[in-house]
Amino acid sequence: MPTSELNTPIQQDHDAHLDELPNEKEMSLFDHLEELRQRIFYSLIAVAVGAIGCFIGVRPIVQALEIPARGVKFLQLAPGEYFFVSIKVAGYSGILVASPFIIYQGLMFVLPGLTRREKRLIGPIVLGSTLLFLVGLVFAYFALVPAALNFFISYGQDVVEQMWSIEKYFKFVLLLMFSSGIAFQIPVIQLLFGFLGIVDSRQMLSSWRYVILGAAILGAVLTPSTDPLTQSLLGGAVLGLYFGGIGMVKLTGH
């Protein structure tokens, strides 16, 4: 009898074991909604605490975000504009600081309903998603934001003096950074689809024409500026992430 036939029952038992719900617990829809409400409430408290802490020390954060705009003078065009900018910066920073706790609350909500096979994916997905989001923030801060600002500064250098609204500047920078962090989640989504058998690496590669078009559209939509350089940088990063994700999916055997 071939070895593969001897291993079939063992493999089937192993697969059945991975597809079990180890901590299955019967809960009503009301109980699920109540638990979800509590975990959202705890997450909002964590964001509030993080935002308050960041607001107390917001000046160094603001100064760090102003670094890419060297040579530009910022103006407060309305009473309290800098105060509201500080609140906005502290809010975004608070979300970032509280994100580990938010992820933990989300995991505690979904884990009881996952099989052993699905739970094996949680660790790599959460770690990879967190690292890629941080890489996206760093990429935006050191590449996208300076490229966009240099374009706008050089374009009007001999015509207008560079004095910007501090509120408009921080809206631009924060949106660009967080949009980049979200765009950098593409390989995680690809790996998840590959593990779940929704799409394999060949199908991902065969769709390269649509991906190039999608990357161009995504670069135009996610960047708050209209300059082609920033859009091209983000679109190129999306393409690199997509094809890198295909390589990782292929390495996993999917």
162 located within any domain: yes
pLDDT of residue 6 exceeding 50: no
21 located within any domain: no
Q: What is the DSSP code string of the chain?
A: --HHHHHHHHHHHHHHHHTS-TT-----HHHHHHHHHHHHHHHHHHHHHHHHHHHHTHHHHHHHHHTTSTTPEEE--STTHHHHHHHHHHHHHHHHHHHHHHHHHHHHHHGGGS-HHHHHHHHHHHHHHHHHHHHHHHHIIIIIHHHHHHHHHHHTTTTS--EEEHHHHHHHHHHHHHHHHHHTTHHHHHHHHHHTTSS-HHHHHHTHHHHHHHHHHHHHHH-SS--HHHHHHHHHHHHHHHHHHHHHHHHTT-
Q: Say how many domains are in the chain.
A: 1
207 located within any domain: yes
12 located within any domain: no
Q: How far is CA 204 from the centre of its chain?
A: 21
Give the CA distances from residue 28 to residues 35, 39, 41, in Å, rounded to whole numbers and listed in that order. 11, 17, 20
pLDDT band for position 114 (cuts 50, 70, 90): low
Amino acid at 38: Q
% pLDDT > 90, the chain: 19
Global model pTM greater than 0.95: no
What single-letter DSSP state applies at residue 144?
Answer: I
Give the residue numbers spanning the domain of 191. Answer: 27-251
For range 117-131, the mean pLDDT: 78
For range 11-31, the mean pLDDT: 58
Lowest mean pLDDT among 82-91, 119-128, 206-215, 232-241: 119-128
pLDDT band for position 226 (cuts 50, 70, 90): low
For range 27-36, the mean pLDDT: 79
pLDDT band for position 50 (cuts 50, 70, 90): very high
Lowest mean pLDDT among 22-26, 170-174, 215-219: 22-26
93 located within any domain: yes
pLDDT band for position 51 (cuts 50, 70, 90): very high
221 located within any domain: yes
94 located within any domain: yes
pLDDT of 127-162, one tens digit each? 888 888 999 999 999 988 888 888 777 776 777 777
13 located within any domain: no
Q: What is the Cα–Cα distance from 66 to 201, expressed in whole angstroms? A: 41
